[in-house]
Structure 1
Amino acid sequence: MLIKLSTDITVIDAAAALQAAVQANHFGVMQVHNLKETMTKKGVEFDRECLIFEVCQPQQAKKVLDENMSVSTALPCRISIYEEGGKTILATLKPTTLLAMFNTPQLKDVA
């Protein structure tokens, strides 16, 4: 399941707000991918703004990986911020949906 939130603020302002929220919730930003910039460098014309944040909460990641290393294929968690229909969208995959793919019900509380 995809979680999507819409806002009237810019992608840049949403990115700043997301960074603050991530830190306030004891997560860390591991990487930010600027899709427009990366595609342009590769010679692909892409005019829309899209930032992809890779975020992680190390203690929770350790719990998950101690149970099932295959979950590493879905880590770190990603949150995208992009423009769509004149709005700024924040979107991510629901953690419980991701973990369900790994058939490890004991991780439900971590998600």
Structure 2
Amino acid sequence: MLINVETQKDFEKVVQDVQEKSKEKGFGVMSVHEVHKILESKGMPISYKCTIVEICQPKAASTVLSKRADISTAMPCRISVYEQDGKVVLSTIAPTELLNMYKAEEFKELAQEIENTIRSIMEEAAK
């Protein structure tokens, strides 16, 4: 399941606000990928802006990775910000859905907590 939030805010401002809200809520910003610029530099442009912000909550990551190294393939969490139909969309894959792929019921509560926080980051960045 995707979590999507639309906004009328300026694209660059939303990307900046995602980073700021993530930090405010205890997540580290691990990387920011300006996909549209990367593709353009490779001679394969797309017709809209798209940036992926990778975030991680260190305590949660340590808890999960201490017991299940395979779940690292779903980390860090990614929030995509892209333009669509004159709006800016923030989108992520729900951590609870990702967790289902690993059959890791022991982290269900933690995944829900992370999902709630990411949804909050997205909603606040969209305001």
TM-score range, shorter chain: over 0.9
SS at match of 1:109: helix
Question: Match of 1:32?
Answer: 32
Letter in 1 for 2:9: I
Task: Give me the TM-score of the superposition, normalised by structure 1.
Answer: 0.97
The count of residues paired between Structure 1 and Structure 2 equals 111
Residues 46-95 of structure 1 show CA distances to partners (whole Å, capped at 9, x for unaligned) of 22100101100111001111121100001001000000010000000001
Letter in 1 for 2:107: L
Question: Match of 2:75?
Answer: 75
Cα RMSD (Å) of the superposition?
Answer: 0.8
Task: Give me the TM-score of the superposition, normalised by structure 2.
Answer: 0.85
1:96 matches 2:71:
no
More helix, by proportion: 2
- Unpaired runs of at least 5, structure 1: none
4+ residue runs of structure 1 moved beyond 4 angstroms?
none
Q: Using the TM superposition, give the Cα deviation of residue 45 of structure 1 relative to its aligned residue in structure 2, in angstroms.
A: 2.1
SS at match of 1:67: coil
- Unpaired runs of at least 5, structure 2: 112-127
